[in-house]
Structure 1
Amino acid sequence: MGKSLLRLMVLLRTGMGLPKRLLGRLNTALERRLPEQRLFLRSDTETRFIRLKPTTQAVALAGTSIVLAWSIVATAILLMDSIGSGGAREQARREQAMYENRLDSLSRERDQRAEEATAAQERFALALEQVSDMQSRLLASEERRKELETGIGVIQTTLRRTMTERDSARAQSAELTAQLTGTGTELAKGGTSAEDVSETLDFLTAALGRTAGERDEMAKTAFDAVAAADEIAYEKKLLEERHDEIFTQLEEAVTVSMAPLDKMFTSAGLDPDDLLAQVKRGYSGQGGPLGPLMPPVMNGDDPDSGRAAKILEGLDRMNLYRLAVEKAPFAMPVKSSFRYSSGFGRRWGRMHEGIDMAGASGTPIYSTGDGTVVYAGWQNGYGNLIRIKHDFGLETRYGHLSKIRVSVGQKVSRGDRIGDMGNTGRSTGPHLHYEVRTNGSAVNPMTFIKAANNVF
């Protein structure tokens, strides 16, 4: 609109493109609104004036109005942009504060879970010691019980033999008594035979007395053996109850220790069963010279053997989890003070495939898991870059480093220092660009970091 008005003023000034009659009417109308003005310029020698016609004044006013309107619009745009950017910065600060508070909360939860895991391990070690002691005592009691059962058997056999001999002696005594009664006359005539019979009876009576004493002693011994067997049975029952209590504590300890590990790998998007199967294949070596064939320690028909086998399976699973944790990138790459300056996701219309951790230049950078260095050098955009290949199809990347401390092919462990934080490549300041890739696809590293907070 401003350009059209300016063109009209120029046409009015030049008188081109309009009939003289129309031009005269416009001049008359402008003279009523903007009468002709004269601008006097006085010097030491003369005085001059400049005549400002109505069309000239109209052109000047139109130009001034256009400039003023453009200034107002530009000022309004700048003011609105400043207000909008200020609001965005305030929102970013609030989100950052919330994010840092959440990280603090996760850190506290991680410390608490670490304390719980340590306590569970201590309880587990104590329970193992108790199980070992109980098993030793149980074996000793079994041996003692077998010895007592053998002794009772011997005592019972001896007692039966003694009772048989006693009954035989009684029968012989009765027979001799009958013979003595029937032959009283003969005995009166022959004194020598009566004396023999009397001596025989005395001998039999003494033998019966000794036999009765031995019987009573054997009966007492058998009674004591039965009481001892009952006591051993009671102690065995108490040991079995204690044994069951220890098994229950062990099962609870294994369950409590396994739950955070299962949750950690599941939260990171990894299948625990498949992951443990891979670890088991990598740690399945056996060997050594063959020794004598030993009998199996556990009986499959015994319920306690089944419970013990399940506990051992749980312990083996925990050990495999420990190996998997060392190999997967669950640790933090930066242990010094830093700030999360950018997250995973779309940024400025492009995909940001990692997270940025801003800190001081030269801050140590650590490997987040066991693996092999497959790249260590310069790469466009990343600057100085380190790529580490881990098991289970995982790979981590560390970009914008000021110094690389590893070489291609080198084996690294979790917690090894691999480089220093820097500002190389496409970067606006010292920070670490950290990526986690699964089978070549970038995933959010915070998934692994948050999952590890449940355990470490």
Structure 2
Amino acid sequence: MRSRLKKTIHHQLERWFPERRLFLRSDYETRFIRLNSETQLVAWVGCTIVVAWTIVATAILLMDSIGAGNFRAQAQRDQMTYEQRLNALSSERDLRAQEAADAQNRFSTALQQISVMQSELLATEEKRRELETGLDVVQATLRDTMKAREEARTLLAAATDQSDGVAAATMSQDAVGTVDLLANALAQTAAERDLIAADAEFAIDHAQELELELRLLHERNDQIFRQLEEAMLVSVEPLDDMFRAAGMSPDSMLAQVRRGYSGQGGPLSPMQFSTRGGEPDPDALRANAILASMDRINLYRIAAEKAPFDIPVKANFRFTSGFGQRWGRMHAGTDFAGPIGTPVYATADGVVTSAGWSSGYGRLIKIQHDFGIETRYAHLNAMHVSVGQRVSRGERIGDMGNSGRSTGPHLHYEVRVGGEPVNPMIYIRAGQDVF
């Protein structure tokens, strides 16, 4: 039975793979190699497997190349979008800063005009009071003069009745002279009174005009204040959100920055609008609130330089691994893949605490920042900083490499707060929303 089955299989194979002979001829003899059906079948199956494997491998490589190209193109588009957004935000921030500076200049000019107009108004009021006082004196003098004239007339009438003709004539002439003198004094006094009254009326009209100008100036100041307050609100709220998104308390962070710059005359000297020793008016309170907001923005600017809100790689790259569990182990950072030698930058101001070889990290740089934050840059190809060196945000500290336990050239970037690793993308995304 087995022999018959074998012959049947052999007969079927001979239909597809008939027996062939391969002749090998030399100068002296001729030999041949017999290729039976089974041998040809094995050879055909082997060649088919090799060709199929070649086709599948080529397809896989081609698809991987196409996918990598699409990913690189998407990364480049994302990078361009990020740069455009960054440029737009920078332009808007500069515009807001310029508007705030212009508003501050207009506010200072308005304050100077208010001071001048207040001085003029006070001088006019003082002059009006002097004119009123002078008018009262003139009226009192006029009343005394009229009283004296009446007394003189009474004396003249009495003297005319009691004196004789000669004495009466002499007395009459003296009385007439006295009356004329009093009449002239009275006319002069009346003219002075009219002049003083006209001056007082002019002063009152001028004071009303000054009051109108002062009211218009107050309205203009209120508009300037509103613009400044809106500009401060638009500038401060995104910064508050940025630090809260990074898990940082803005109040405690600003207090720490202020303690670090508590010297007198420094960049963080308290700014207050002077009230010249009097009670603060509403405008002064609003001005001080705006100055406090400007001081808060200044503190935020310093804090933003000291916290790692920047991205460590600015050239073309792709994210290959994020923060979290990976292959059953904790991956404490974010990986940025790129060519060897790609520049690596510090993400915040700080001091280099380590720069050397560190086991699986390979060439590793550690930078200590304020607020208890540390950043790590691993698998570097070269390091451009040394221990104890102070670096600034955006300063080049090394080159991307493949040192240590690494499957390809990339940067392993970590952020640690109080020694505990946190997701670096929290800070990077928070910074992208503002800068």
**TM-score of the superposed pair, with normalisation by structure 2:** 0.76
SS at match of 1:339: coil
Please list, as runs of the form range in 1=range in 2, the aligned pairs for 1:76-225 lying within 5 A after superposition. Answer: 76-176=55-155, 178-179=157-158, 183=161, 186-187=162-163, 189=164, 191-225=166-200
Distance 1:75-1:178 versus aligned 2 partners, 3 A rule: same
Instruction: Select the residue among 198, 211, 217 that pairs with 1:242.
Output: 217
Unaligned regions of 5+ residues in structure 2, if any? 266-273
Instruction: Select the residue among 443, 446, 456 that pairs with 2:424.
Output: 443
SS at match of 1:63: helix
- 2: distance between equivalents of 1:48 and 1:446? 77
SS at match of 1:388: strand
Q: Does 1:342 align with 2:319?
A: yes
The equivalent residue for 1:372 is 351
Give the conservation status (yes or no) of the 8 Å contact 1:372–1:412.
yes
- 1: distance between equivalents of 2:105 and 2:212? 22
Q: Does 1:230 align with 2:196?
A: no
Unaligned regions of 5+ residues in structure 1, if any? 1-21, 288-293
- 2: distance between equivalents of 1:359 and 1:62? 48
Please list, as runs of the form range in 1=range in 2, the aligned pairs for 1:240-389 lying within 5 A after superposition. Answer: 240-267=215-242, 269-270=245-246, 271-284=249-262, 297=277, 299-300=279-280, 302-331=281-310, 338-342=315-319, 345=322, 349=326, 351=331, 353-354=333-334, 356=336, 358=338, 361=341, 363=343, 367-389=346-368
Distance 1:285-1:151 versus aligned 2 partners, 3 A rule: same
Distance 1:191-1:101 versus aligned 2 partners, 3 A rule: same
- 1: distance between equivalents of 2:294 and 2:354? 37
- 1: distance between equivalents of 2:149 and 2:351? 96
SS at match of 2:348: coil
Give the conservation status (yes or no) of the 8 Å contact 1:173–1:204.
yes
Give the conservation status (yes or no) of the 8 Å contact 2:318–2:337.
yes
**Higher-Rg member (1/2):** 1
The amino acid across from 2:254 in the alignment is L
Give the conservation status (yes or no) of the 8 Å contact 2:348–2:369.
yes
Deviation at 1:117, TM superposition (A): 3.4
Give the conservation status (yes or no) of the 8 Å contact 1:366–1:414.
yes
- 2: distance between equivalents of 1:367 and 1:45? 81
Q: Percent identity?
A: 26
Q: Does 1:423 align with 2:423?
A: no
Give the conservation status (yes or no) of the 8 Å contact 1:372–1:389.
yes
SS at match of 1:386: strand
Please list, as runs of the form range in 1=range in 2, the aligned pairs for 1:1-150 lying within 5 A after superposition. Answer: 22-27=1-6, 29-30=8-9, 33=12, 57=37, 59-60=38-39, 63-64=42-43, 66-150=45-129
Deviation at 1:424, TM superposition (A): 5.9
The amino acid across from 1:443 in the alignment is P
Residue-by-residue CA offset, 1:428-456 (whole Å, 9 max, x unaligned): 78765544445531321531441343xxx
The more displaced of 256-265 and 102-111 is 256-265
Give the conservation status (yes or no) of the 8 Å contact 2:19–2:34.
yes
Give the conservation status (yes or no) of the 8 Å contact 1:251–1:311.
no
- 1: distance between equivalents of 2:10 and 2:254? 97
Distance 1:362-1:72 versus aligned 2 partners, 3 A rule: closer
The amino acid across from 2:424 in the alignment is V
Give the conservation status (yes or no) of the 8 Å contact 2:242–2:431.
no
The more displaced of 319-328 and 42-51 is 42-51
- 1: distance between equivalents of 2:126 and 2:96? 45
SS at match of 1:447: helix
Residue-by-residue CA offset, 1:252-278 (whole Å, 9 max, x unaligned): 135325424431441451454443344
Deviation at 1:210, TM superposition (A): 1.1
Give the conservation status (yes or no) of the 8 Å contact 2:338–2:410.
yes
Distance 1:222-1:81 versus aligned 2 partners, 3 A rule: same
The equivalent residue for 2:269 is none
**TM-score of the superposed pair, with normalisation by structure 1:** 0.73
- 1: distance between equivalents of 2:320 and 2:128? 75
Deviation at 1:389, TM superposition (A): 2.7
- 1: distance between equivalents of 2:416 and 2:117? 54
- 2: distance between equivalents of 1:359 and 1:209? 110
Distance 1:338-1:214 versus aligned 2 partners, 3 A rule: same
Deviation at 1:220, TM superposition (A): 1.5
- 1: distance between equivalents of 2:137 and 2:32? 160
Residue-by-residue CA offset, 1:61-96 (whole Å, 9 max, x unaligned): 553454245335423432441243133123213312
Residue-by-residue CA offset, 1:204-246 (whole Å, 9 max, x unaligned): 3322431332233133223213312431342243134224423
The more displaced of 201-210 and 422-431 is 422-431
Cα RMSD (Å) of the superposition? 4.1
The amino acid across from 1:210 in the alignment is A
The more displaced of 216-225 and 32-41 is 32-41
